[in-house]
Structure 1
Amino acid sequence: MRLSSPIYTLKREAKLLTRSTEIKLHQALDQIAKREGFQDWGHLASSYAKNTPSKAVLQQLDAGDMALIAARPGHGKTLLGLELVAMAEKSNRTGYFFTLSDTVLDIRNRLDKLGIDPDQFDQTVTIDTSDDICADHIISRIDNTAKPALILVDYLQLLDQKRSNPPLEVQIRKLKAFAVAQRASVILLSQIDRRFDLSVNGMPGMDDIRLPNNVDLSLFSKRCFLHDGKIQIEQTA
């Protein structure tokens, strides 16, 4: 059964409901779950855990893959990425999150939305919020003696923001070569151009990727687009 909104949005709605009606949180959660067609919140959460989009994406990520997760702001690309690296250990991988956008507090707030314990996340995923993040920096931080790496980078358009960093395509090719050589999976979050908001298309595509600087998008073997709670996964032929 498909939810009308992402689960974190439903949780936020439940919290707002407790403030406006003074009912307890568990009652608000159950009320929303019944509206969505479930017996209670536990039933909804169990169903979501079995069918979460992150599982579908993770199952399609192979060793050596370069993947792109793209969406307009507020449509869940960062949350999906965090879910993926949070699941890395269970799939016998080592999770890494490199972000040029979020602070540690931002990350903890996002994890809270997902119902993931931030302290538990810290124990299984390496988090890097350095301003020096680029392909060389990322590669230098990966422990090649450990399990295959699942690397999340936030985000594509910021990698060459520093003038001292190599051009974006040079960095993407270097990350691709590293992924293949080390049997790692690299996921880059990406912005969608704001022009998409004026489009009649229901889902963004490769033509909507915001690219201030040129990069060969065929280097990405998997692409995932999100919009209004829907997800579309593509792969190169």
Structure 2
Amino acid sequence: MKEIWNPQDEEMEEAVVGACLIESEAMPLIAGKIGPEVFYNETNRLIFSTMLSMNHRGLPIDILTVKSELAARGKLEAAGGAYNVTRLSGRVASGAHLEYHVAILKELYIRREAILGSHKQLAAASDQSVDIADILVGMHNLLDRLEGTLGTADHLRGMEQLMEDTLVQVEARVENNKNGVTGIPTGLTELDEMTGGWQQGDLVVIAARPSVGKTAFALHLARAAAAAGCHTVVFSLEMQGERLGDRWLLAATEDVNPSHLRNGQLDTSELRQVREASVELAGLSIRVDDSPVVSMDHVRGVARMLQSKGECDLIILDYLQLCKMDAGQDNRNREQEVAQAARKAKLMAKELNVPVLLLSQLNRASEGRPDCRPALSDLRESGAIEQDADMVMLLYRPAMHNMKSESKSKYPSEGLGVAIVAKHRNGETGDIYFAHNPSLTKIGDYVPPMEWLMRHAK
């Protein structure tokens, strides 16, 4: 009998195993995508199976821990010994193309299964003692299994299944509803009423001109989410983590002078407040990644790793234009790069099923308007940002433009901020007013001054 061809790539297998040995984020990134059966080489299959088990148990994965785990299982020699584990770790310099390599291995595995299964069905069809109905059932089962492995049928649902899944979400919103908030609280009453909170799988773009307060606004949202018990991850590409810490401390204290905190001139009362606030803030579930050079793939990898531990409910990225762009295509312009990064952010929100708040810059076009109000067309460098976003909020402070009152509401501009919900795929649009202090370290619901209310009572 002719030998069956088995599609395989041992070098690719070793690259995947090696990447998982040298990068802590690699295994959480691919754990749900492939299993040990994908590896044709028995040694590679054994090592990957061991690492997968370690990942499920929350154990750290590196060369030494994997060697130790294999030895504890009595499998180190079967895995080629300590030398082979060390050798595999040197097969790659990084896990930069890990997901692409995994996709190739998965395809090769499906091809092997298709070839082997088809040969079995061919043999059965040639055997007249086998009932033809059983042969057809076997062929259908083979096709279903291969499609399930490939994932082609995962997202194809009939109306019955779709309505069942939709009803589950509706009932979950009813059960989790807290005063109309079904998602993650924003910390602003009007915004919660308009959005129901940040919703799973949504990409929310928060855009503004420089110095308007994007970061301050995002930190308020992060603190509000964490205070509600949601695990929040903040990627700060512009500002060092300790500077974010300064801002959170100022937001959590009553009368600490920002310049005193910055210059180290805190008096006894201020120092006491700062220490008490730090204890309070330390209890919040917020993770900060202030790596200076971050790509959207890095963000996704870290988020997947945290989610595997149940520690990622909300992602905030500050901000899009500072993200490291993919330089793989030399002929791609800046607008296309930003568009791709925004698209990846949306895919990440959908894949992880968490809200992603993406901060972005606006261009100067708004400064030429009489009231300097920003518009969707001002999104810097790419209209694709608007296309991929489920919601776009444009931040605006009329006082920055020497306006005594906001043009639409006529509210006095001092201490007034406006979050213009310019796009809302699943709800209404409109203006959300928020209050802020002069240093922009405290943000909250806006209440017009009594004098203004009395004057406009009629």
2:243 is the counterpart of 1:79 = no
The AA in structure 2 aligned to 1:219 is D
User: Residue 236 of structure 1 aligns with which residue?
Assistant: 425
Report the counterpart of residue 207 of structure 1 in structure 2.
Answer: 377
The 5-angstrom pairing of residues 134-173 of structure 1 reads 134-142=295-303, 143-145=306-308, 146=310, 148-160=312-324, 163=327, 167-173=337-343
Kept in 1: contact 2:396–2:418 (CA 8 A) = yes
* Distance in 2, Cα, partners of 1:91 & 1:178: 23
Structure 1 equivalent of residue 205 of structure 2: 68
Larger Rg computed on CA atoms:
2
2:386, 2:187 → 1: CA distance?
A: 32
Q: How far 1:151 sits from its partner (Å)?
A: 0.7
1:160/1:167 contact within 8 Å kept: no
SS at match of 1:64: coil
Which amino acid is 2:287 matched to? T
Q: Determine if contact 2:321/2:361 at 8 Å carries over to the other structure.
A: yes
SS at match of 2:384: coil
**Take 2:326 and 2:312, find their aligned partners in 1: how far apart are those partners?**
29
Q: Alpha-carbon deviations, 1:17-60, whole Å to 9, x = none?
A: xxxxxxxxxxxxxxxxxxxxxxxxxxxxxxxx985667568744
Q: Which has the higher strand share?
A: 1
User: One-letter code of the match for 1:131?
Assistant: P
Match of 2:249 in 1: 112
Q: Equivalent residue of 1:70, what SS? A: strand
Deviation at residue 101 of structure 1 after TM alignment = 0.4
TM-score, normalising length from structure 2? 0.37
After superposition, the C-alpha distances for 1:99-131 in whole angstroms (9 at most, x for unaligned) are: 110012321232234236456445521101112
CA shift in 2, pair 1:57/1:154, >3 Å:
farther
Q: Give the direction of change, closer, same or farther, for the CA distance of 1:210–1:169 in structure 2 (3 Å limit).
A: closer
Read off the aligned partner of 1:178 and give its amino acid letter.
M
TM superposition shift of 1:181: 2.1
| Counterpart AA for 1:230 | V
One-letter amino acid matched to 1:67: V
Displacement after TM superposition at 1:63 (Å): 0.3
Q: CA deviation at 1:202?
A: 4.6
Shift of 1:83: 1.1
The farther-off stretch of 141-150 and 180-189 is 141-150
SS of aligned partner of 2:297: helix
Please give the alpha-carbon distance, in whole angstroms, between the structure 2 residues aligned to 1:104 and 1:50: 22
Tell me the residue number matched to 1:18.
none
Letter in 2 for 1:180: K
Question: 1:150 Cα deviation (Å)?
Answer: 0.7
When the two chains are superposed, the root-mean-square deviation of aligned CA atoms in Å is 3.0
Q: Alpha carbons of 1:164 and 1:94: their partners in 2 closer, same or farther (altered >3 Å)?
A: farther
Structure 1 158/51 Cα, relative in aligned 2: closer, same or farther at 3 Å? closer
Alignment partners' CA distance in 1, 2:187 and 2:346: 31
- The DSSP-based 3-state class of the residue aligned with 1:188 is strand
CA gap 1:210/1:185 in 2 versus in 1, 3 angstroms? same
Residue deviations 1:138-195, cap 9 Å, x none?
1111212315521110101111457479933223222212211221110111111123
Name the SS for the 1:88 alignment partner.
helix
Amino acid in the other structure paired with 2:424: Q
Gaps of 5+ in 1: 1-48
2:202 partner amino acid: D
List runs of 5+ in structure 2 lacking aligned partners: 1-185, 254-276, 330-335, 398-416, 427-458
Tell me the distance in 2 between the aligned counterparts of 1:130 and 1:57: 34
In structure 1, how many angstroms separate the alpha carbons of the residues matched to 2:251 and 2:194? 17
Q: What amino acid does structure 1 have at the position aligned with 2:245?
A: R
TM-score (norm 1): 0.67
Whole-angstrom distance in 1 between the partners of 2:202 and 2:317: 14
The Cα of 1:206 is off from its aligned counterpart by 1.2
Distance in 1 between the 2:370 and 2:233 partners? 36
- Once the two structures are TM-superposed, the CA of residue 215 in structure 1 deviates from its matched residue by 3.4
Contact 1:204 1:227 in 2 (8 A): yes
